[in-house]
């Protein structure tokens, strides 16, 4: 089992082109931890904003009667990928992993695979 700090390092190191990572509690919108980012990428603001994305998708799925699990959510910008993966393990309910990638330098399939591995190992 991996801590938040270890999970963040694995998210960033495991994918070339990673710009920032966060573990976020979507019930409160608070980041439990962040790594990377910078003046053009405030991960605390992004964590709070993406909380709204998760909540909206969960609410929509409930309204549609979809009894499915969100694997991940991809937001594609002109130069970045923003990947959101809810944590589904028994200790991670209400959390999501958030990874920002440089679109030109990253492999989206590898990033999704790495987030799945991190999600399976994280322990809060």
**Mean of the per-residue pLDDT values of the chain:** 92
| CA dist 27 → 24, 31, 69, 101, 121 (Å) | 9, 11, 17, 25, 21
Residue pair 86/55 in contact by the 8 Å Cβ criterion: no
Query: Rounded CA gap, 33 and 30, in Å?
Result: 9
**CA nearest to 98, candidates 5, 38, 33:** 33
State pLDDT tens for residues 4-30. Answer: 998 999 999 989 999 999 999 988 999
Is residue 85 scored above 90 in pLDDT? yes
């Amino acid at each position: 089992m991996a801590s938040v700090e270890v999970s963040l390092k694995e998210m960033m190191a495991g994918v070339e082109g990673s710009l920032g990572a966060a573990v976020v509690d979507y019930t409160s919108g608070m980041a439990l931890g962040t790594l990377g980012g910078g003046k053009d990428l405030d991960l605390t603001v992004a964590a709070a904003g993406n909380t709204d994305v998760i909540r909206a998708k969960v609410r929509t799925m409930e309204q549609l009667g979809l009894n499915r699990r969100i694997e991940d959510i991809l937001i594609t910008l002109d130069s970045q990928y923003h990947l959101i993966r809810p944590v589904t393990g028994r200790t991670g309910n209400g959390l999501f992993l958030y990874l920002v990638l440089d679109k030109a330098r990253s492999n989206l399939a590898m990033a999704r695979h790495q987030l799945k591995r991190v999600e399976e190992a994280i322990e809060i």
